[in-house]
Structure 1
Amino acid sequence: MIKILIVDDEQSAGRILKVLLEKHIPGDKQIEISNKPTEALSLLETFKPSLVMLDIEMPGMNGFDFMNQASEWDFDVIFTTAYDKYAIKAIRFSALDYLLKPIDIVDLKNAVNRHIVKMQTATASSQQPLVDNLIYNLRQKSQEHFKLALSTNEGVFLYNPQDIVLLEASSNYTKFFFANQKTLIVSKTLKEYEDILLDHQFLRVHKSYLVNKGHVIKVDREGVLELNNKMHIPVSRRRKAEILQWFNQI
Structure 2
Amino acid sequence: MHILIIEDETRIAKRIERMTRDFFSENLTSLHRVDELSEALEFIKKQPLDVVLLDLNLNGENGFDILSKAVSESFHTVIISAHKDRAISAFEYGVLDFVPKPFNQARLDQAFNKVLLNEKTTEGNIQLLAVKKKGGIQLISIDELQYVKGAGVYTELYLRNGKKELHDKSLEKLEQLLPHTFERIHKSYLVKMSEVENIIVRSGSKYIASLKNGEMLPIGRTKYKSIKEKWL
- TM-score in terms of structure 1 length: 0.54
> Which residue of the partner structure matches residue 246 of structure 1?
230
- Read off the aligned partner of 1:67 and give its amino acid letter: N
1:220 equivalenced with 2:219 (yes/no): no
Question: Which residue of 173, 177, 191 corresponds with 2:172?
Answer: 191
CA RMSD in angstroms comes to 4.6
Cα offset, 1:51, TM superposition? 1.9
Cα offset, 1:76, TM superposition? 7.3
Q: Give SS of 2:197's match.
A: strand
Q: Distance in 2 between matches of 1:147 and 1:219?
A: 28
Q: Distance in 2 between matches of 1:96 and 1:145?
A: 8
Percent identical pairs in the alignment equals 18
> Which residue of the partner structure matches residue 180 of structure 1?
161
Cα offset, 1:208, TM superposition? 0.2
1:164 equivalenced with 2:145 (yes/no): yes
Q: How many residues align?
A: 183
- TM-score in terms of structure 2 length: 0.58
Q: Distance in 2 between matches of 1:212 and 1:176?
A: 12
Q: Distance in 2 between matches of 1:178 and 1:94?
A: 18
- Read off the aligned partner of 2:15 and give its amino acid letter: I
> Which residue of the partner structure matches residue 12 of structure 2?
13
| Contact 2:80–2:98, Cα closer than 8 Å, also in 1 | yes
Q: Distance in 2 between matches of 1:93 and 1:69?
A: 12
Q: Which runs of 5+ in 1 are unaligned?
A: 33-43, 57-61, 111-141
Cα offset, 1:159, TM superposition? 1.8
Q: Distance in 2 between matches of 1:220 and 1:76?
A: 39
Question: Which residue of 50, 58, 62 corresponds with 2:39?
Answer: 50
| Contact 1:167–1:190, Cα closer than 8 Å, also in 2 | yes
Q: For the structure 1 residues 84 and 231, does the alpha-carbon distance in structure 2 shift closer, same or farther, using more than 3 Å as the test?
A: farther
Greater helix fraction, Structure 1 or Structure 2: 1
